[in-house]
Amino acid sequence: MSEVVFWVLVGLATVVSLGTAWTLGANSNSPPFAPAIGANAISTMKAAFAIGILAALGALTQGGSISETVGSGLVDGVAITSLAATVGLLTATGFMAFGIYSGYPVPAAFATTGAMVGVGLSLGGEPAVNTYRQIATFWVLVPPVSGSLAYATATLLRRDDVPETVSIPLLAALVGAIVANVPLSVLPAPPGEQGSLAGLVSLAVSTPTVAGVDAATALATLAVAAASFHLIRRQTAASADRGIKTFLIVLGSIVAFSSGGSQVGLATGPLENLYGTELGLPSFVLLTLGAVGILGGAWMGSPRLLQATSREYAQLGVRRSIAALVPGFVIAQAAIQFGIPISFNNIILSGIIGGGLAGGSAGVSRRKVLTTLVFWVVTLAGSVAIGYGLYKAAAPFLAQ
């Protein structure tokens, strides 16, 4: 390959990666605020603005693990070339763009994972069976786990014998405890680890370890949980409606941040080898590229899908909306920890459906749920086939 052709492919792959990130910002980063919009806690345009900022920050601080999996963990024995990255990204973006304009959320993780597996196999690589097994297990577990947790939480919040001044603050305390331990690449940490808010306290204060848990980390976690409990309890005590909606917006913000950390790797992962190995650039440059694309997509393209997911899948109240977001946040952070590409459409919509069922099945469109499941299967299988075929067709022209 000549140097001119190489740089042309670098430029093309970069533009396509930006386009993919844009599509992710418009498509897969939208669902975290859909329950809040459905509950009339925030307007569509304000939600779109917040999604862009929060998802971009999440991309910069949490995007590395999944980007690495997508870039080098899906196929063994080959490195993803600039042409393969471009073909894979074009395939995935095509599926996601169709989801935006059709109103049906296409799972970005399914589209990108399938496309990169397809081009990797077309390069002559071997299937990474163990990785597929881990990813498939996680994907299969997401709907029942998210839906069941949302159903249980919504049922609890609807109980008359549990006052909202107790149930809502307790959920806030749980979320606060998790937030205190969310890994962030920008915070200092021991070698080979990522920092967290609770970890900062552990680094600053030397305390004994009890049953494998650092005492300072545990105390910091409890402190954040207590502060979260107090803040939301004070809000709900003054006005139950205002307190609940405040917590719903906070949850949407946290999940949107987490979605950026998860989804950016779907746009930047295919370029990991190109940017890191061939160009010698630090990973932060690639994550910044993805964050910019996500920001633009959220601001310009997300309102349409926000309305579709918030109003067409289930007519939720504020309590069931909270129930949909809590498991979404937990599952998203687990996926980031394990470096598993996930679909936020999968997580949040499962939670919306589970929360909706707690109020009776009439609030859930069975036809659209079935259609969405079909779209997910078609996306995964179709992206593998198209990615494989497109690379096979394009590679001979590059060799000439």
Position 194 scores a pLDDT of 76
Whole-model pTM?
0.85
Q: What is the pLDDT of residues 79-136, one digit of tens each?
A: 998 889 989 989 988 887 777 677 666 788 899 999 999 999 999 999 999 999 999 9
pLDDT exceeds cutoff 90 at 384: yes
Neighbours of 136 (CB within 10 A): 12
Q: Which long-range contacts (CB under 8 A, 24 or more apart) does 237-241 make?
A: 237/165, 240/164, 240/165, 241/318
Q: What is the mean pLDDT of residues 258-263?
A: 90
Position 383 scores a pLDDT of 94
The domains of the chain are located at: 3-158+256-399
Residue 55: partners with Cβ closer than 8 Å, 6 or more residues away? 25, 29, 256, 257, 259, 260, 263, 291, 294, 295, 298
pLDDT band (50, 70, 90) for residue 242: confident
Position 245 scores a pLDDT of 84
pLDDT band (50, 70, 90) for residue 248: confident
CA 144/CA 269 separation, integer angstroms: 28
CA 22/CA 200 separation, integer angstroms: 33
The dihedral built from the CA positions of residue 235, 236, 242 and 244, taken in this order, carries a sign that is positive
pLDDT band (50, 70, 90) for residue 231: very high
Q: Which two tokens stand for residue 3?
A: 């140097």
Position 351 scores a pLDDT of 77
Q: Which residue has the higher pLDDT, 31 or 158?
A: 158
Q: What is the pLDDT of residues 167-188, one digit of tens each?
A: 999 999 999 999 999 988 888 8
CA distances from residue 135 to 132, 210, 341 in whole angstroms, order as listed: 5, 33, 7
Which of 173, 1, 19, 40 is closest to 95 using CA atoms? Answer: 19
High-pLDDT (> 70) share of the chain, %: 92
Q: What is the pLDDT of residues 314-341, one digit of tens each?
A: 456 677 778 878 888 899 899 998 999 9
Position 344 scores a pLDDT of 73
User: How high is the mean pLDDT of the chain?
Assistant: 85
Nearest-5° Cα angle at 113, 341 to 124: 135
pLDDT exceeds cutoff 60 at 285: yes
High-pLDDT (> 90) share of the chain, %: 34
Position 350 scores a pLDDT of 78
Give helix 240-268 / helix 164-180 axis angle, nearest 10°.
30
Q: What is the pLDDT of residues 9-64, one digit of tens each?
A: 889 889 989 988 988 888 777 777 877 787 777 888 888 899 999 999 999 999 88
Q: Which two tokens stand for residue 26?
A: 């418009």
CA 199/CA 202 separation, integer angstroms: 5
